[in-house]
Chain A
Amino acid sequence: MAILVDKKSRVIVQGITGGAGSFHAKRMKTYGTNIVGGTSPGKGGSSVEGTPVFDTVEEAVKQTGADTSVVFLPAKFVMEAAIEAIRAGIKFIVVVPEHIPIHDMLKVRKEAVKYGATVLGGNTAGIITPGQANLGIMPDIAFTPGRVGTVSRSGSLTYYIADTLTSAGYGETTCVGLGGDPVLGSTFDEILWKFEQDDATKAIVMAGEIGGVYEERAQDVIKKMKKPVIVMIGGVFAPPGKRMGHAGAIVEGNMGTAESKLKILEEAGAHRAKTFLDIPRILKSLSI
């Protein structure tokens, strides 16, 4: 089992004729992802390395039965693309580009809630269910099928965590990148709850960082969960008031500091990992 994406997912790439779109469509397909088509307005009827291209998502859905989309378009076109996909009936959308205008993401989120769709990103490395499907830009090498789920704001941390889980013999069910932008399509609590309901997932590693409020939002769901959650928060030693690359990663006063996030999540029952090597140690101590 897996969450959000598996080998049956029927995936389209929005922006498939662009540089990033065509490059990653090929990579994803090589991994075994079930890429059934792509979109590029005005280029309908053509194909990119054997993948059919459509003018609209609606056409792509009708012709291919697509239910999942990965967006590779400039940030200013993302809102239109995501809403188009949602209204065409796509239930899961991965937004790889970064710097999506905040007001645009608020609109996308509203639309997604209305239609019961899930959006990841912006600024996400994507999502991978090892051995089944890889959506986005994650490097295959770090991942192995297994029994721990991961959810992270950062691509690089997702890789390091998977690398650690793989080396320790655990492997991963699904690895979810939430994204590094300030307003995200999905939140930790929503993804954690999906893992709670997935039989194959025995524990979850959650990696957050300074700034924003999405980590704190997870406290209620962690209290309700039966599965253990291991939490890492980057930026324990970050200087206040400074912005660290991710637009969301800024500390304002005591709001959103790594320590305040960790405290809230530990009180809710999460286990704190300081470094990657703590993750397998904690899993073993929990007899997983």
Chain B
Amino acid sequence: MRLYEYEAKDLFSKFKIPISAGKLADTPDETIRVALEAGLPRVLKSQVLTGGRGKAGGIKIVKSEAELREAAAALFKLSIKGYPVDKVLVDEVLNISQEYYLGVTIDRANYKLVVIACADGGVEIEETARTHPEKILKLSYDVDEDFHSFDAIKVAKFLGFSGDQIKAFTPIAIGLYNFFKKYDAKLAEINPLVRTAEGKLLAADARVSLDEDALFRHADLQSMGIEVRHEEGEMTPREKQAQEWEIPYLDLDGDIGMFPGGAGFGIMGNDFIQYYGGKPANFMDSGGGPTPERLAKMLILLDENPQVKAIFGARFGGISRCDDFAKGVVMFLKDHGLSKPMVMRFTGNMWREGMQIFEDAKKEDPKMFEKIEYHGIETPIEEIAKRAVALVKEVK
């Protein structure tokens, strides 16, 4: 879960990391008032949950009141990678003499926390790591290990600091590491860490991603107004609807609605459709043991998507049984109705019972099943994928 720059900086300052003196504004008028109060020049920084703000025109230095008024109005009309700007950090303009990078993250392959430092800050660190790995220092620690002052001094020397700069840097590095551990972070970056012409070191920007699965032990975040939010990227209205229903769902640009069981086959099924010449309209995951209501909602997302021409259903009865699954589909057919052709397959736990539920419902109301073709264990899943691709062509 990504934090806004101002939120990350607030938290950093609690760990004795010096930050630039900024104040948040959430309207153009408020921006103007705050900036005038603090005195010009100021830098106005859009607060959005994505990178590349500078390039998108989301950061503006204003020197005069006229510039301020113009920039404040313009920023709040801006949308960066789909994120509308509704908050602006009115920050001090720093007299920068050098920019550094300092970050902490998790090395999943080796199960370590990693402190990363580079004397070329303010740039894409991933790019530097690729092109000039020798410019980057990486120190690994176990999750329950401390980061000591002597570790910080090692980093400080790598960055080229000496004398009082080492003393100023040490608490910043220790603070960042302690913050990372205390708040269950996945990523905590100061980029750039700035050395000013006056010789001060401070965090000019901050990027933090927390582990949403660990929020239960950080109730204090909620009191700061930091709540669970989507990781990154713009959500479509359908994705937002799915999120409200707690269904993992993504819109894709094809025309075959995907109605699978678990996430693993959700991902692989999308590949299968493409191998056979089709294009999926979505990714979706039912989760373990979905209720009939949940299944009905999943089908609503597909049936009401005008892009969807046909639906590909696959259910491997595991923790969720095929008969329960069939009941959910029948409930949907009765309550909502299906307007698209659908081909699906049952296998695994209770697949015969699932087929039987369909047979019985079909006898009762044959019209309801006009658009559904269903198969059991004897038809390979590849055949179902091919059939879904063919159905789209029939519709067209």
Which residues of B (30-58) have their CB < 8 Å from a CB of A? none
The reply to whether the CB of A232 lies closer than 8 angstroms to some CB of chain B is yes
Dominant SS among interface residues on chain B: mixed
Tell which of B111, B231, B252, B284 has the most Cβ of chain A within 10 Å.
B111
Partner among B109, B263, B271 whose Cβ is within 8 Å of the Cβ of A217: B109
**Minimum C-beta distance from A102 to chain B (A):** 5
Q: Mark B250-280, 1 if CB is under 8 A from A, else 0.
A: 1010000000111111111011101100001
The reply to whether the CB of A287 lies closer than 8 angstroms to some CB of chain B is no
The stretch from A46-54, A56-64, A149-157 touching chain B is: A149-157
The reply to whether the CB of A88 lies closer than 8 angstroms to some CB of chain B is no
**Minimum C-beta distance from A108 to chain B (A):** 10
The reply to whether the CB of B316 lies closer than 8 angstroms to some CB of chain A is yes
B144 touches A110 (CB 8 A): yes
- Inter-chain CA distance A244–B263, complex, in Å, is 7
The reply to whether the CB of B211 lies closer than 8 angstroms to some CB of chain A is yes
Residues of A within 8 A of B267 (CB): 154, 209-210, 234-235, 238, 244-246, 249
Residues of B within 8 A of A1 (CB): none
Q: A110 with B274: in contact, given A101-B184, A101-B211 (CB under 8 Å)?
A: no
Q: Mark A242-262, 1 if CB is under 8 A from B, else 0.
A: 111111010001000010000
- Inter-chain CA distance A101–B261, complex, in Å, is 24
**Minimum C-beta distance from B116 to chain A (A):** 15
- Inter-chain CA distance A151–B382, complex, in Å, is 21
- Inter-chain CA distance A232–B382, complex, in Å, is 15
The reply to whether the CB of A76 lies closer than 8 angstroms to some CB of chain B is yes
Dominant SS among interface residues on chain A: loop
Residues of B within 8 A of A241 (CB): 232-233
The reply to whether the CB of A104 lies closer than 8 angstroms to some CB of chain B is yes
The stretch from A2-10, A28-36, A191-199, A271-279 touching chain B is: A271-279
Partner among B265, B280, B288 whose Cβ is within 8 Å of the Cβ of A160: B265
Q: In this complex, what residue of B is CB-closest to A213?
A: B109
B274 touches A155 (CB 8 A): no
Residues of B within 8 A of A182 (CB): 108
**Minimum C-beta distance from B238 to chain A (A):** 14
- Inter-chain CA distance A103–B211, complex, in Å, is 9
Residues of A within 8 A of B260 (CB): 156
**Minimum C-beta distance from B17 to chain A (A):** 20
Interface range for B: 35 or more
The stretch from A37-45, A133-141, A221-229 touching chain B is: A133-141
Q: In this complex, what residue of A is CB-closest to B145?
A: A110
B211 touches A275 (CB 8 A): no
**Minimum C-beta distance from A276 to chain B (A):** 7
Residues of A within 8 A of B186 (CB): 102
- Inter-chain CA distance A183–B265, complex, in Å, is 20
B265 touches A275 (CB 8 A): no
**Minimum C-beta distance from B166 to chain A (A):** 29
**Minimum C-beta distance from B215 to chain A (A):** 9
Q: Mark A180-209, 1 if CB is under 8 A from B, else 0.
A: 101100010000000000000000000101
Residues of A within 8 A of B214 (CB): 101-104
B262 touches A183 (CB 8 A): no
The reply to whether the CB of B347 lies closer than 8 angstroms to some CB of chain A is yes
- Inter-chain CA distance A234–B263, complex, in Å, is 10
Q: Could you pull out 8 A-B pairs where Cβ atoms are within 8 angstroms?
A: A101-B217, A106-B142, A140-B349, A183-B111, A237-B280, A241-B232, A253-B126, A276-B380
Q: Which residues of B contact A (CB under 8 A)?
A: 106, 108-109, 111-113, 126, 142-144, 181, 184, 186, 211, 213-214, 216-217, 231-233, 248, 250, 252, 260-268, 270-272, 274-275, 280, 283-285, 288, 316-319, 347-349, 351, 377, 380-382
Q: Which residues of A contact B (CB under 8 A)?
A: 75-76, 99-104, 106-107, 109-110, 125, 137-142, 152-160, 163, 180, 182-183, 187, 207, 209-210, 212-214, 216-217, 232, 234-239, 241-247, 249, 253, 258, 274-277
Closest 9 CB pairs of A and B: A154-B264, A245-B263, A156-B262, A101-B214, A245-B285, A106-B143, A234-B268, A156-B265, A234-B267
* Further pairs besides A110-B142, A159-B347, A239-B250: 16, Cβ < 8 Å: A102-B213, A106-B143, A107-B144, A110-B111, A139-B316, A141-B347, A154-B268, A155-B262, A187-B109, A207-B264, A232-B268, A234-B271, A237-B280, A238-B283, A245-B262, A274-B271
